[in-house]
Amino acid sequence: MPSLQRLPAQFRLRPRLITLDAFDTIYYPYPDVPTQYKQFVQQHAPESQNVRTDDIQRNFYAAFKRAAVEHPNYGRHTSLPSPREWWHLVIRETLEPYFTGERPLTEAAIDELYELFYTARAYRTHADVPAFVDKVKVPLGVISNSDPRTREVLMSLGLATPNGSPRGFALDRVVCSYEAEAEKPDPRIFTFAATNAAATVGPTRPGAGVQYVHIGDEFRKDVAPMTDPALAAWAAVYLCREGPPADWTVPGDFTGVFAIDGNERQLCCRSLADLVDIFEDRVE
């Protein structure tokens, strides 16, 4: 199992771009998705009995998995005209059992729920994000396994900045798997992000060390890809707000920034606040 080694206080990275995962890294649903779906059912089908969030959660995960298999990457290359139809499939399969023939689940009602998750009404920003955005001077971007709604959510939460902005999550540095035609952990979505940001941060320079850092909450999707030779210019941070996996070896308290198995291109920490001091402006 992986072990963590605390990085020395003088450790620094000088990336030209830092990207973050979106869902559960920058923001999270509030209340959780099953609760919001339950509230929707109670509003539109008040006669429904025994509406339980754990049942909705099971329905949702089954519907999400089925849609992901039948229409990968939000239907990017299947018969669906847009991600909207993909989410309509998921919502209908999740909630239709709660609607009767007298009060069917209409497309208009589904669209109402779909639109809710475009807005800040469905989310909260993680507490450590605003200070990180304010203090880090390196351009920021997003790499998300998602559809283009991510930009709308960031704007609604007040986190997006205009195209080309040297600070914050500039909209033209927000990369969604739907547009990149690749999903994490596929290395192609990371190389797409680097190319996409080149106009703002400059092109990748072979042999120039770590030039990009990605931060996310899923090891397999956000950190493990950095072992691919195509991502030699990348490092990644595994953000474990609830602490590392139970079977990982941690030397003492889980505070500060750690290298995973001694690899300084694969890091781990509890909070974005732990990372602020390790990033410095890149001078070339």
Contact call for residues 123 and 28 (beta carbons, < 8 A): yes
pTM of the model: 0.96
State pLDDT tens for residues 142-175: 999 999 999 999 999 999 999 988 888 999 999 9
Contact call for residues 181 and 76 (beta carbons, < 8 A): yes
State pLDDT tens for residues 230-251: 999 999 999 999 999 999 999 9
pLDDT at 284: 58
SS (H, E, C) the chain: CCEEEECCCCCCECCCEEEECCECCCEEECCCHHHHHHHHHHHHCCCCCCCCHHHHHHHHHHHHHHHHHHCHHHHCCCCCCCHHHHHHHHHHHHHHHHCCCCCCCCHHHHHHHHHHCCCHHHEEECCCHHHHHHHCCCCEEEEECCCCHHHHHHHHCCCEECCCCCCCEEEEEEEEHHHHCCCCCCHHHHHHHHHHCHHHHCCCCCCCCCCEEEEECCHHHHHHHHHCHHHCCEEEEEECCCCCCCCCECCCCCCCEEEECCEEEEEEECCHHHCHHHECCCCC
Rg for the chain (alpha carbons), in Å? 20
Q: Is the peptide bond before 185 cis (omega within 30 degrees of 0)?
A: yes
pLDDT of 33 strictly over 70: yes
- Architecture field, domain 4-26+126-278: 3-Layer(aba) Sandwich (3.40)
Contact call for residues 266 and 243 (beta carbons, < 8 A): no
What angle, 0 to 180 degrees and rounded to 10, lies between the N-to-C axes of helices 53-70 and 83-95? 140
Token pair for 173: 């540095």
Query: CB neighbours (10 Å) of residue 18?
Result: 22
In CATH, which superfamily holds the domain spanning 29-121?
Haloacid dehalogenase-like hydrolase (1.10.150.720)
pLDDT of 108 strictly over 80: yes
Phi-psi region of 245 (alpha: psi -120 to 50; beta: other; left: phi over 0): beta
Contact call for residues 138 and 282 (beta carbons, < 8 A): yes
pLDDT at 281: 67
State pLDDT tens for residues 182-202: 999 999 999 999 999 999 999
Which residue spans of the chain are classified as CATH 1.10.150.720?
Answer: 29-121
Which residue spans of the chain are classified as CATH 3.40.50.1000?
Answer: 4-26+126-278
| Residue 283's pLDDT band (cuts 50, 70, 90) | low
State pLDDT tens for residues 5-25: 999 999 999 999 999 999 999
